[in-house]
Amino acid sequence: MKNEERFVFKPGQCVMVGLLGVGECMFAIASSPTKKKYLEISVMKQGKVTTALHNCKPGDHVGIRGPYGNNFPVDAWGGKNLVLIGGGIGQAPLRPVLQYVLDNRKKYGTIHIFYGARTSQDLCYKNEFAQLEKHDDINVFLSVDKEEFGWKGFTGFVPGNLMRIHPSAKDSIAITCGPPVMIKRVIDVLINLGFSEKQIFTTLEMRMKCGIGKCGRCNVGPLYVCKDGPVFSVEQLQRIKGER
């Protein structure tokens, strides 16, 4: 069996990626398990390891261990409408969910995609969104934080765009990932739109460090994100908050 066939994962799980002599970092897997020939991650250049990864050339060797954590229960969402809400590099954990759903399109209802960044240059996967906008059963709502010359999408923050469109909560699941302040505001908007805490999911992979529950960096109450997460429903998070 080939290496790519032995590596089995689900949308929402993470991997530790490292370079010998440099270090390693945790990343959400940004491709779907339905794509068997490769594994994708999205890397923002901001530190020693991420800079080294940006400087890699085709053929360079990197170390990968995992997958770690739980996953989005995409198979349990069959028949549901999906609302995907991302901000900045936080779109990466949502991408495998979207790819998985598109590769099993008949099992799911309407798809709403909300995605924003500070500027149009900061938007990830722009070519993919351009293709998604051509689908009749997929609604794409892009945004940038401030006005830009030539920008034709929504100007403002992602929660404002979500409130503007107000997707229906009926038979729907909402998944959000991005900066913590955005996630908090998005959850508030979704609750105001009638979504229950059971219908809203997010991922806390940004807290993960070692991946095996030893360093203690990712604890949320009695749980460790790398072992018990990174995917949680808002209902689960509220329960954990109440236990602290």
CATH number at residue 171: 3.40.50.80
Which neighbouring-strand residues pair with 19?
23
Look at residue 238 in the predicted model and tell me its pLDDT.
Answer: 87
Domain that holds residue 55: 7-68
pLDDT surpassing 80 at residue 223: no
Residue 121: Cβ-neighbour burial (10 angstroms; 0-12, 13-18, 19+): exposed
The pTM assigned to this predicted structure is: 0.91
Q: Which two tokens stand for residue 103?
A: 């590769």
Give the mean pLDDT of 90-117.
95
pLDDT at 228: 81
Structure token pair of residue 223? 């749980």
Task: State phi, psi for 231 to the nearest 5 degrees.
Answer: -90, 130
Instruction: Render pLDDT for 25-48 as a digit per residue (tens, 0 to 9).
Output: 889 999 999 988 888 999 988 889
- Dig out the tokens for 73 from the structure: 């229960």
pLDDT > 50? residue 86:
yes
Is 182 within a domain?
A: yes
Residue 226, pLDDT score: 75
Please say if the pLDDT value at position 240 is more than 80: no
Give the residue, 37 or 126, on which the prediction is more confident.
126
Q: Is the dihedral of CA 26, 118, 178, 100 positive or negative?
A: negative
Structural domain count, the chain: 2
Burial class (CB within 10 angstroms; exposed 0-12, middle 13-18, buried 19+) of 74: buried
Q: Is the Cα torsion angle 179, 184, 188, 191 positive or negative in sign?
A: positive
Q: Do both 24 and 104 map to the same domain?
A: no
Same structural domain for residues 191 and 93? Answer: yes
Q: What percent of the chain has pLDDT over 70?
A: 92
pLDDT at res. 1: 39
Please give the single-letter amino acid code of residue 93.
P
And the tokens for 199?
A: 């219908």
Are residue 27 and residue 78 in the same domain, yes or no? no
93 in the same domain as 62: no
- Do 107 and 174 lie in one domain? The reply is yes
- Residue 241 confidence class, pLDDT cut points 50, 70, 90: low
- For residues 137 and 83, membership in a common domain is answered with yes
Q: How far apart are CA 28 and CA 11, in angstroms?
A: 9
Burial class of residue 120 in the structure, from the number of CB atoms within 10 Å of its CB (0-12 exposed, 13-18 middle, 19+ buried)? middle
Q: Are residues 169 and 194 in the same domain?
A: yes
Do 44 and 81 belong together in one domain?
no
Axis crossing angle, helix 180-192 with helix 158-165, rounded to the nearest 10: 20
Instruction: Among 25, 42, 68, identify where a domain stops.
Output: 68
Return the closest-CA partner of residue 244 out of 225, 219, 214.
219
214, part of any domain: no
Q: Please indicate, yes or no, whether residues 96 and 180 belong to a single structural domain of this protein.
A: yes
More confident call, 193 vs 214: 193
- Last residue of a domain, which of 17, 52, 68? 68
Gap between the Cα atoms of 91 and 77, Å rounded: 19
Tokens of 188: 């508030």
